[in-house]
Amino acid sequence: MKTYVLHSNPTTTQTKENRTQSDAGSRDSATGMDSVPYLSKGERVYLKIVEDESGREIPAEAFEKKKAERDLLMAQSVHIADMLESVGVRAYGESKMTMVGLLTGIEEPMIDFRNIVFIPAIAKRKRNRMLGDLEFFIQNHPFSRMWVFTSGSRCPIKAVSDRIREVHRRISKLNAKPFMKSAGITIVFRATELGSLERVEGIATFHIHCHAIVHLDRKLSKDTWVTLLGKVREWWQFHFADAKKIEMAREACKYVVKPGDLLNLTGTELKALYDQLFRLHLVQALGPLRDQRRDREDTDQRFHRISTPLGSKLETVPNWNTRPPAALTASTEPGRDTVLATLTPAPYFSCITEPAVIVMNRSKEALLEKSARLRRIWEAATRHAATSNAPV
């Protein structure tokens, strides 16, 4: 980890060398978005969020706990990726990315894992992408419930793919049953989990089950609900449970395999699991939730959490990380200090919330002297942080 100093009044003068290397041609650069006399709606929203939410302080114990959890997850991810590499599965990419805090100036290299669904860092990223849509749906459909479908006996790794495909096929067929349609019930989400690793005569086996969210288009009487559940149990054949009214999206959207279980597999077993899970859609939005997700993406929106008198809720805002930098769409290698994304304020590197950026091919040059857009973000953050204990 390295740091650099952010000056209180960063220079706005750019050298010829800086101009040619500052995210050339992208919307993050002085020759892209910075060259126009206006900001997109998404960028204005982002700057307002940065101004409002930077410089907040969280308890040191909470920060240390979160940091320890992140460090453990990354250590587990590296161990699993190394095990896969040892048996011929490429688990690392070649991108050189860095997260940079725009108030503290702290920089942290990011490990580029390939898109392998059970590497914990990748599983968390995929989970987070779905959680927003799922939570927003539950927020607007408060009668949603969680169902749990099991798949029968424990499953060895060599049969995982066939078992999962069968579970997914049966859930799709259940969704189309007349008794589901007449009750106004639709399964809108499913997440498949390989639970509780156990060895049976030395062979690794999993309890494969599926967490599902069901949407009710109307309130049902108790008798109608009991009758419906009976029909579902009879049709499903294996153990089925109506868990409860869903309160937290995280209850239904979990890791594909618990990191602790993965650590107990050999490299050969991890490779076999990788082959079995390849190209399977283990977490999927269906029906109305899929429509909500598509509409959000089509209108270029993202979620942002706001405080309310009862706690917090999600709202949709314009997506400020919409278009990829031009450098990434060209055939040439991305230039130095290419900004991939700007992040909302959070306690990334200290107890103080700050905005951060993900940068590809980080150089030793000061970012704020290379991009007017990043200077605007820094200025928005310091307007609030100046009245707090945030280091500026």
The DSSP annotation for 299-366 comes to: TTEEEEEEEETTEEEEEEEE-SS-SPPHHHHSSSPP-TTEEEEEEEEE-SSSSB-EEEEEEES--SS-
Q: When comparing pLDDT for 243 and 377, which is higher?
A: 377
Residue 61 forms part of a structural domain: yes
| Total domains, the chain | 2
Q: Which pLDDT does position 385 carry in this prediction?
A: 59
Pairing of strands 301-308, 283-285: unpaired
Are residues 139 and 83 both part of a single domain? no
pLDDT in tens, 217-267: 888 999 999 999 999 999 999 999 998 777 788 888 889 999 999 999 999
Per DSSP, the three-state class of 166 is: helix
Q: Which pLDDT does position 370 carry in this prediction?
A: 84
Are residues 105 and 202 both part of a single domain? no
Q: When comparing pLDDT for 334 and 128, which is higher?
A: 128
Residue 50 forms part of a structural domain: yes
Q: Is 181 exposed, middle or buried (0-12, 13-18, 19+ CB in 10 A)?
A: exposed
**H-run or E-run covering 384:** helix 372-385
Decide if pLDDT at 12 tops 60: no
Tokens standing for residue 33: 């978005």
Which is nearest to 118 in space by CA: 221, 16, 258?
Answer: 258
Query: What count of other Cβ atoms lies within 10 Å of the Cβ of residue 290?
Result: 14
Residue 213 makes CB contacts below 8 A (sequence gap 6+) with: 134, 137, 138, 144, 145, 146, 147, 187, 188, 189, 190, 246, 252, 289
Residue 270 forms part of a structural domain: yes
Are residues 125 and 147 both part of a single domain? yes
pLDDT in tens, 44-78: 999 999 999 999 999 999 999 999 999 999 999 99
Mean pLDDT for the stretch of residues 38-42: 88
Q: How far apart are CA 382 and CA 23, in angstroms?
A: 23
Decide if pLDDT at 316 tops 50: yes
Residue 56 forms part of a structural domain: yes
Q: Which pLDDT does position 291 carry in this prediction?
A: 97
* Lowest mean per-residue pLDDT among 12-26, 49-63, 120-134: 12-26
Q: Which pLDDT does position 322 carry in this prediction?
A: 74
Are residues 184 and 278 both part of a single domain? yes
Decide if pLDDT at 37 tops 60: no
Are residues 221 and 109 both part of a single domain? no
Q: Is 151 exposed, middle or buried (0-12, 13-18, 19+ CB in 10 A)?
A: buried
Residue 166 forms part of a structural domain: yes
Residue 301 forms part of a structural domain: no
Q: When comparing pLDDT for 2 and 287, which is higher?
A: 287
Decide if pLDDT at 10 tops 90: no
Q: Which pLDDT does position 4 carry in this prediction?
A: 37
Decide if pLDDT at 213 tops 70: yes
Tokens standing for residue 153: 């006996």
Tokens standing for residue 314: 């999600």
Could you say which DSSP state residue 92 is in?
B
Residue 176 forms part of a structural domain: yes
Decide if pLDDT at 284 tops 80: yes
Q: Which pLDDT does position 333 carry in this prediction?
A: 72
Mean pLDDT for the stretch of residues 34-51: 82
Determine the structural domain holding residue 203 and report its residue range: 120-294
Domain boundary among 245, 276, 294: 294
Are residues 174 and 215 both part of a single domain? yes
Residue 88, φ and ψ in degrees, nearest 5 = 90, 10
Give the pLDDT band of residue 16 (cuts 50, 70, 90). very low
Which is nearest to 315 in space by CA: 300, 325, 305?
Answer: 305
Are residues 104 and 150 both part of a single domain? no
Decide if pLDDT at 175 tops 50: yes
Residue 304 forms part of a structural domain: no
Give the pLDDT band of residue 310 (cuts 50, 70, 90). confident
Are residues 109 and 149 both part of a single domain? no
Are residues 155 and 286 both part of a single domain? yes
Decide if pLDDT at 165 tops 70: yes
Contact status, residue 249 vs residue 92, Cβ threshold 8 Å: no
Are residues 159 and 290 both part of a single domain? yes
Q: Which pLDDT does position 286 carry in this prediction?
A: 96
Are residues 248 and 273 both part of a single domain? yes
pTM equals 0.84
Are residues 158 and 188 both part of a single domain? yes
Q: Which pLDDT does position 332 carry in this prediction?
A: 63
Residue 65, φ and ψ in degrees, nearest 5 = -65, -45
Which is nearest to 197 in space by CA: 275, 269, 146, 147?
Answer: 269
Which is nearest to 268 in space by CA: 110, 86, 98, 99?
Answer: 86
Decide if pLDDT at 389 tops 80: no
